[in-house]
């Protein structure tokens, strides 16, 4: 993975992982208490 982006808002924090070919491969969102509230994960990629 080439790039990690973090975005912090007053009520949640989001981290995204990007790779050169497929783009965004993983995203995690945490609530204000730091508990994981949702995530997305790329499970298949073909070129």
> pLDDT (tens digit, 9 = 90+) per residue, 1-47?
556 667 766 788 889 999 888 999 999 999 888 899 999 999 999 98
The C-alpha atoms of residue 11 and residue 22 are separated, in whole angstroms, by 29
All structural domains of the chain with their residue ranges: 3-41
Q: Tokens representing 36?
A: 């994981």
Alpha-carbon torsion (40, 31, 19, 24), positive or negative:
positive
Q: How many whole angstroms separate alpha carbon 16 and alpha carbon 1?
A: 10
DSSP 11: S
Q: Which two tokens stand for residue 32?
A: 């204000």
Predicted local confidence at residue 3, as pLDDT: 61
């Amino acid at each position: 993975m080439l790039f990690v982006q973090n975005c912090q808002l007053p009520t949640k924090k989001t981290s995204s992982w990007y790779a050169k070919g497929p783009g965004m491969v993983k995203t995690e969102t945490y609530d204000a208490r730091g508990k994981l509230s949702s995530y997305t994960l790329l499970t298949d990629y073909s070129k």
